[in-house]
Amino acid sequence: MQFLTRTAIVSLQLTLFSAVHGAKWTYDGPQGQDHWSERYPYCGGALQSPIDFKSDLLRFDPTLRPIEVQNYNLSPNEQLTLGNNGHSVQLSLSPMMSISSLHNQYTAAQLHFHWGSASRPAGSEHTVNNKQYAAELHVVHYNSDKYPNISTAVDKSDGLAVLGVLVEVGMFNPAFEHILKFINGIKYRDQKVKVPGFNIRALLPTRLDEYYRYDGSLTTPPCYPSVLWTVFRNPITISRKQFLSLATALYSSNAQDSAPMPLNNNYRKTQPVDSRLILVSFKERRGLHGTLTVTSPLTRKQIIQQLLVGDLGDLADEDLHKLLPSGSEKHHAGKKKDLKTQQSERLAKSKQQTLNPSLWKKSQANRHVGKLGLAENTLSYVSLEQRVSHQLKQSHAENQMVQALRDAVFPELNLKSYLECRSDLALPTIRYILQGRPTDEATELNHSLTKAMMNQRKTSTALEKDLPMTQYNGHSTATVSRKPQSQGYPHPWLLPMEWED
């Protein structure tokens, strides 16, 4: 039975992976991005990409190191494959290429582009304060410390790392010519040509120490939320002639098709940010909140430990400001106890209760919550989709797949992102963690959180009338006051993004 299950999972994974390169989705029309979630449910789910890098969501993180790439200068003797897959221009990359500055080693797999059209040179997927660039380059890597290849890594929560490069029309780019001079050989879908190796590093910005960092997804079906995104702050340029060559030379249809379909405007629209923050490795001259304005990783781990085994009454009474996103510290400024006193008392109680065997037994009643607290388990989206689909078929509720997957995956992804300072802790995640705790205490905390969140939303709305969002205590209120409530939750969910990757 176990063998059959694993075989089914591998079969489903291969089916989904091959569907990525199939003709089952487009950017517009009946199979366009507004309908992706009907066939690929993760496209309607959690932590989707691309997003808009709004100034009020940026948090400077002094621990972010410059990106270090290895073996990007390829020999002309090395043959790469350039292809038109109907969705983009894609170039295979040498397995010797890698990113060495992340927690794991990520090996390069391929790069591809997204672009606009001749009449509208605006086709980048990520935007900066709503500014859309002419195009965007994605260099896709997989976690080679943990997975043997990209097809195995693509559906894992720690599987991929993508370098994003914004492209604007300006000066001629000689590195770009190494690709463009072969573009007439791949005019139609499924055509491929061999390209001599060149210095891939020359396609990246000069400075690799200034970038945006956040947790997101593939921007094409199946939209797995498996990507650690690094989008460089400084764009590269290509000439107008180079852009027009890219935007006008290609077709998304096969050569034998009677009505050729131009390949352009192949970008996904920006997706809701929800509780995510965007860490940046640089300080703005104006408008950026000079230091990391989210709670430290150590404090965040302590908060999770408190939720798992600590006194929930304490959290309900004293520590809401650490759980709630978007600058709620200001609402608690009048507390009698200072922050250090509250924290030391809470930790003392937590240690004392952890030593209490009966309390520890209660906290371990739900083993999944224990794993959640450690946030070390890797999610496999293919197996999760298969399990959820089976459960829904048993209850004749297949049409609820998108919401069911979102509910299943969001708490764990939000927690992982929260512990790494790339998200606020959303209320659905808190409720999920509290599943293994005494009902009365959990209910008390839940009521307090909900009430505080509602009060914060009202206060934030009032403050916005008088203050710019970027000046309110160094935090954004966007995820609290500007978005409509999701049904059943005071804190909204995320919505749908990429896999040309």
Residues 6+ apart with CB under 8 A from 323: 303, 315, 425, 430, 449
**What is the SS3 string spanning 117-143?**
CCCCCCCCCCEECCEECCEEEEEEEEE
Return the H-helix or E-strand segment holding 478: helix 478-481
Cα-based torsion angle of the residue sequence 115, 118, 122, 125 in order, rounded to the nearest 10 degrees: -20
The answer to whether 197 and 77 have CB atoms below 8 angstroms apart is yes
**What is the C-alpha separation between 303 and 319, in angstroms, rounded?**
9
Q: Which residues are catalytic?
A: 87
Distance of alpha carbon 436 from alpha carbon 423, whole angstroms: 23
Rounded-to-integer distance, Cα 267 and Cα 463, Å:
36
The three-class DSSP label of residue 313 is helix
Strand pairing category for 106-115 and 236-238: unpaired
Q: Is residue 334 within 8 Å of residue 455, measured between CB atoms?
A: no
Q: Rounded distance, CA 426 to CA 490, Å? A: 9
Q: Do residues 209 and 66 make contact, with C-beta atoms less than 8 angstroms apart?
A: yes
The single residue listed with the structure tokens 């940026």 is 58
